[in-house]
Amino acid sequence: MIYLNDDIDHFDFDAALPLLSEQRREQALRFKYELGRKTCAAAYLLLCQGLREEYGITERPVFEYGEHGKPFIVGHPEIHFNLSHCREAVICAVSDQPIGVDVESIREYHDSLVHYTMNDQEVLQIEKAERPDVEFIRLWTMKEALLKLTGQGIVDNLKSVLVNTTTSELTTVVDPEVRYVYSICRPFRP
């Protein structure tokens, strides 16, 4: 299930603090800027909502982290989740199987970044798109969601990430006002 909050401007961080686990509260308070604190807390609360609605779990989840930093919930290895945030939105995916999600704001990009992260076919796709900035972010979120699904984190050769992805289902959603894009990656189900 996907949970999304794209009203970060009105998120009340002070009201959220008592709802966070001690671990997440400390993490949120380490952010230098208000936006980072808000998105950290909002993502956690979306996870709490998902756990409550999908599994009836009401205790505050505590995380442990895999080799590349992918979090998992202590005491609940059967529950998979993934969090992501940007300036405009926070997203949480909760599932009974591994899942990856990424959300990114639409912003200006530089050709050097496109050529560093995208293969030749993807570069052409971006260049031919009506909104190259949106197409770049769409492809970027697909790559990051896939990497988060596998727990690898960012790899050295980003150009090959989406090549031969037959083992995964990728879904991309573009906000109607084109402020952000998110992608969800799940294992392929025949």
Calpha distance 126→184 (Å, rounded):
20
Q: By the 8 A CB rule, do 141 and 102 touch?
A: yes
Q: By the 8 A CB rule, do 51 and 61 touch?
A: yes
Amino acid 23: pLDDT = 97
Across 140-153, average pLDDT: 85
Confidence of residue 156 (pLDDT cuts 50, 70, 90): low
Across 4-26, average pLDDT: 96
Quick one: 179 exposed, middle or buried, by C-beta within 10 A (0-12, 13-18, 19+)?
Answer: middle
pLDDT(172) > 90: no
pLDDT(163) > 90: no
Amino acid 152: pLDDT = 72
pLDDT(190) > 60: no
175 vs 29, more confident: 29
Amino acid 168: pLDDT = 64
